[in-house]
Amino acid sequence: MSKSTEFQLVKGRVFADLGLYERVSGLYDGQWLAGEGRRRIAVHSPINGERLAEVAVADEEDYSRLIERAWMSFAEWSLVPAPKRGEVVREIGDRLREYVDTLGLLVSLEVGKTPVEGKGEVQEMIDIADFAVGLSRQLYGKTIASERQHHRLFEQWHPHGVVGVITAFNFPCAVWSWNAFIAAVIGNVVVWKPSPNGALTAIAITNIVNEVLDEQGLPALFFVAVDGAGEIGRLMSSDRKLPLLSFTGSVRTGREVAARVGERIGRSILELGGNNAAIVTPDADMEIALRGVAFGALATAAQRCTTTRRLILHESLFDSLLPRLIEAYRSVRVGSPLEPGVLVGPLISGRAVESYSSAIGRAEASGGRVLVGNSVLALPGLEGGNYVAPTLIDGLAPDSEIVCEETFAPILYVLSYSDLEEAFAIHNCVPQGLSSSIFSNNLREVEAFLSVVGSDCGLANVNAGTAGAEIGGAFGGEKDTGGGRESGSDAWKAYARRQTVTVNYGDELPLAQGVTFDVN
């Protein structure tokens, strides 16, 4: 069977199971809006360049109507008790369980992840739904000791109303769920603007989750508006009717979003770029280090914000661990993620391939030495795909311009250090601060890495790679990464507004700080 025939069979099965067509609407405002008369964009698979579908996109009028209907839904949804809201999200999680394999394959077709990774992303949605169910009974406030007699002082949390979520292509559904399910149990309604490269995944999921709500006689809670060139995203950033906007994407675009939201004194959750490093010390378990670095640097074809992009390697390990890593890079299989044994799939677009080649050229011009890789691959039967060879480069200064940038492609810069203080300085010299790792069995090295002088990132890993966060912890980073937090721990507080309440149950009116005010 040819690769093209196999691709079409998988596509046909996935589209049939999810109710997708080759001409679909990317507009849901309580109902799917017809695509006639609206501009359409084509969604192509990075696997082979084949067109998957045409999607009708939203315009400004569509967006205005969608926001109005979202607030109407909020008026009803916010009055449902939080534990009941949790039960609804539980039903949604159960419904998603029925589509794990099919949705995982859709992720593979649309963004090029391996089926295992695609399925894992859908499982992450289910996991966060389970987390949100428990959270719905734990939206705790604090009781505070009042200095005034016969007064009660406490905090409570209310939903913002309608929350905007803008997601990137590399996690076309999991990141949305981090925001959407947590926001929903608090009482919010969610408007989603997915990446055009992940539009079909967003459409399929929006259809599944709102089907559950419709069966229970509830209003639509999860709205979607696909755009073609960021038009809807710009409207969302400037819209006072979105008190909170969560944005995942590049640092450059994140700065623009932050400026627009800040101008209207709104709130934003920013999950921007990462330039993550793994430090490997002589006291590391080399088998764990090798696997951890390789997975962190190559998973999802290095198109994760948590991808390992810098390897900070002790100078004594250049003759032992580095040759093994080079051999792993040479032997790793690149190709269609639908083929068994493939670990590295395609980049998302031709533009991403150009960025890969440009970054390597700049690295070489700055004195870098390519150890392995540096080739754009033309694979038989996949000529329209976007494939490149995973690349290792050494010889660059840690603070060189190209090393300090994030390139969304499988390029790993190998940097040398002699002592731990130098390793930390190299690690922290880049503008980004998302994820970090140290591989060491030395307690002192580990504790120093976790101290204030060690990693300056939002995520710190010991004997584990930079990629692959669990949903129970708050996810996010510092510096140019934006400072946002999503998913677990107490990240839910970003989706609610805090209210401090004072109740006077006495028959006098004492004032705080001993102030007196007599009007007798």
Catalytic residue among 117, 121, 305, 406: 305
Q: Where are the beta strands (DSSP E) in 194-324?
A: 222-225, 244-248, 267-271, 276-280, 308-314
- The answer to whether 114 touches 108, Cβ cutoff 8 Å, is yes
Among 294, 249, 295, 287, smallest CA distance to 268 is for 249
Structure tokens at 123: 């499982």
Alpha-carbon distance of 137 to 133, in angstroms, equals 8
Three-state secondary structure call for residue 371: strand
Among 208, 179, 188, smallest CA distance to 97 is for 208
Q: Classify residue 513 as left (phi > 0), alpha (psi -120 to 50) or beta.
A: left
In the residue annotation, 231 being an active-site residue is answered as no
Among 275, 316, 314, smallest CA distance to 297 is for 275
In the residue annotation, 305 being an active-site residue is answered as yes
Catalytic residue among 110, 117, 271, 445: 271
Three-state secondary structure call for residue 412: strand
Bridge partners of residue 152, in order along the sequence: 503
Q: What is the 3-state secondary structure of 432-498?
A: EECEEEEECCCHHHHHHHCCCCCCCCCEEEECCCCCCCCCCCEECCEECCCCCCEECCCHHHHHEEE
CA distances for 438 relative to 293, 314, 457, 478, angstroms: 10, 12, 12, 18
Q: How many CA atoms lie within 13 A of 49 on its CB side?
A: 11
Alpha-carbon distance of 296 to 318, in angstroms, equals 19
Q: Which residues are catalytic?
A: 271, 305
